[in-house]
Structure 1
Amino acid sequence: MHNKREFPLRGQCLCGAVKYEVEAIGPRMAHCHCSMCRKFHGAAFATFGEARVEDFRWLEGAPLLSSYQAANGTVRRFCSRCGSSMTFAPADDPGEFVQFTLGTLTGPPGVDPDAHIFVGSKAAWDHICDQLPQYEAGRDSKRID
């Protein structure tokens, strides 16, 4: 933990139409290197924090959220005005957590990511230079670091 946490944390999309608040982050936070996250975010990876459903709430603009369900059943929600990625849900989502994009926070989260996931499909030009654990796919897959 490098930054002091001050809850609630707030976040918003690029245009500011969709805003949320989160009371606590955890237990997991990761950089996802899967090909779908790369395409959706237009970057080498996407970083997601996790919050219990009861600790996450939309403050404004929830009706502006659009969803994209991929062929594998995962669901990504984004602002329909500016396209900002806001949340991710796995295909088998039990609904206990909200995985939200850390890049949409308006301030520091107070904790650092704890893993790299789906490293087996990362971009060839992406070089991971930190000491975080790396997993072939999800956290239950082979650790490859």
Structure 2
Amino acid sequence: MSLQGSCQCGSVRYEIAGQFQLIGNCHCSICRKSNGAAYVTWGIIDPEQFRWTAGQDCIESYPSSPDRYRCFCRKCGASLASGHAGRVSEIVLATVDGDPGARPREHIFVGSKAIWHEITDDLPQHTEWPPGMDA
């Protein structure tokens, strides 16, 4: 299975040669502010299965927290991915073109969620990182 994705303007494109390992909704303040939303749905991937296929010259990144960086398109501003140690390991699920083949399984960092947002589904909720997930 192969998944493709892109930014809003289509300048940056990527491919994932595999499936998502986990999909979850993050409510931390960094995700909220970088995406302008109550939460961001991330898909965790195997970094070995990810590659940029177009627009590498349009990709900007910045350190968002210790040992992590976020990538976005400098033309349209769309958030695309997050990485660790120079390798993309998480994709903003909304940038996948078509069906990602899986659905969110949990909410994380609900301890810092937006005060005005109410979670109304039955997915598990974790105050910070879920058990077994390294920061």
Q: Normalized against structure 1, the TM-score is what? A: 0.83
What percentage of residue pairs aligned between the two structures are identical?
A: 41
Deviation of residue 69 (structure 1)? 1.0
Structure 1 residue ranges without an equivalent (≥5): 1-6
C-alpha distance 83-59 of structure 1, shift in aligned 2 (>3 A): same
Alignment of 1:29-48 (within 5 A): 29-48=23-42
Aligned CA RMSD, in angstroms, stands at 1.8
1:27 maps to 21
Structure 2 residue ranges without an equivalent (≥5): none
1:117 maps to 108
CA distance in 1, matches of 2:128, 2:57: 33
Question: Which has more strand, going by share of residues?
Answer: 2
C-alpha distance 106-71 of structure 1, shift in aligned 2 (>3 A): closer
Deviation of residue 25 (structure 1)? 2.5
CA distance in 1, matches of 2:15, 2:119: 30
C-alpha distance 82-96 of structure 1, shift in aligned 2 (>3 A): closer
SS of residue matched to 1:132: coil
The count of corresponding residues between Structure 1 and Structure 2 is 132
Deviation of residue 96 (structure 1)? 7.2
In the alignment, residue 47 of structure 1 is paired with which amino acid?
A: T
CA distance in 1, matches of 2:81, 2:88: 11
Q: 2:61 aligns with which of 52, 60, 67?
A: 67
Contact 1:50 1:97 survives alignment (8 Å): no
CA distance in 2, matches of 1:112, 1:71: 26
Q: Normalized against structure 2, the TM-score is what? A: 0.89
